[in-house]
Amino acid sequence: MQMRKLGRNGPVVSAVGLGCMGLSYGYGPATDTKEAIKLIRSAVERGVTFFDTAEVYGPFVNEEVVGEALAPFRDQVVIATKFGFAGGVTQRGMDSRPENIRQMTEAALKRLRTDRIDLLYQHRVDPNVPIEDVADTVKELIEQGKVKYFGLSEAGVETIRSAHAVQPVTALQSEYSLWWRKPEKDVLPVLEELGIGFVPFSPLGRGFLTGAINENTTFDSTDFRNVVPRFTPEARKANQVLVEALGRIAAQKQVTSAQIAIAWLLAQKPWIVPIPGTTKLHRLEENLGAASLELTSDDLRHIEDALAGITIEGARYPKSLQDRVSR
């Protein structure tokens, strides 16, 4: 597994990490705990050293699974988790008050079976708490040795700069993929300027870019994609043109569409570390295979040309959640 430095002053991690959310939350019934632990440990065996979780995934259950799975390998891996919702429940709204950050950190340390959190993200920007107060609180936790690095998730440029001025931000986590490229315009230049690493979540478009989903696909009743405008049958049908273009490129390279999508992200910047998630071992191995797929400048130009003019249909979040992103 190739390694990458996450930002100018961040940790060195595997070029592809593992997003653990889907093992417990968001995409249907939770994976059996023993199977989830087995998958996470299989990732470690294959060279993955970067694992992503959050208190709201479950809530709380995902941190417990990740903690148990990684306990035997604690000093070999980098664990990221997140705070920012009241009681760890998204429906209760955001809460980044300093006292909540401290309480959440103490609870997460216990669930993760560790004495420090390697990378602690604010899950979403809280409009009711100045970002300077958030950064200062995490700074205290770093000084106490309970946290090593500070991160933000889905934050806008102004927030990133304001937080970074108080406590250096090591990484920004936001959605970024071949079907959501908005970060390229404003966010990536600022990250490069400040030496902040970038951790794209949903690098496979919540599964759509793999080619395994079409307009006739049905999701479990608890699957988040049921309420995402981009996943209505009409949008899936319209967006199939992107998947077909990816499939043609993948066939020419004798790899999978998922591998092209992840390799494309890796080729954008040397400080980008995507975190695809999966519940299946063969998908894990497929995703990790992208780290050894080198796309040439000609390949990248070919991808750009093939996707030029394709318009993606549907918003990436339902309207009720739009106000939680990119402040």
Handedness of CA 312, 318, 323, 327 (dihedral sign): negative
Backbone angles phi, psi at 175, to 5 degrees: -70, 135
- Which of 57, 121, 149, 176 is the catalytic position? 57
d(CA 259, CA 209): 10
d(CA 64, CA 107): 10
- Could you tell me whether strands 50-52 and 3-5 are parallel, antiparallel, or unpaired per DSSP bridges? unpaired
d(CA 73, CA 324): 34
List the structure tokens of 287: 């995703």
Handedness of CA 88, 92, 97, 100 (dihedral sign): negative
Contact residues for 85 (Cβ-Cβ < 8 A; gap 6+): 55, 56, 92, 93, 94, 95, 123, 124
Is 57 catalytic? The answer is: yes
Backbone angles phi, psi at 283, to 5 degrees: -75, -40
Backbone angles phi, psi at 169, to 5 degrees: -85, 125
Contact 81, 117 (CB under 8 A): yes
List the structure tokens of 190: 């600022």
**Active site members:** 57
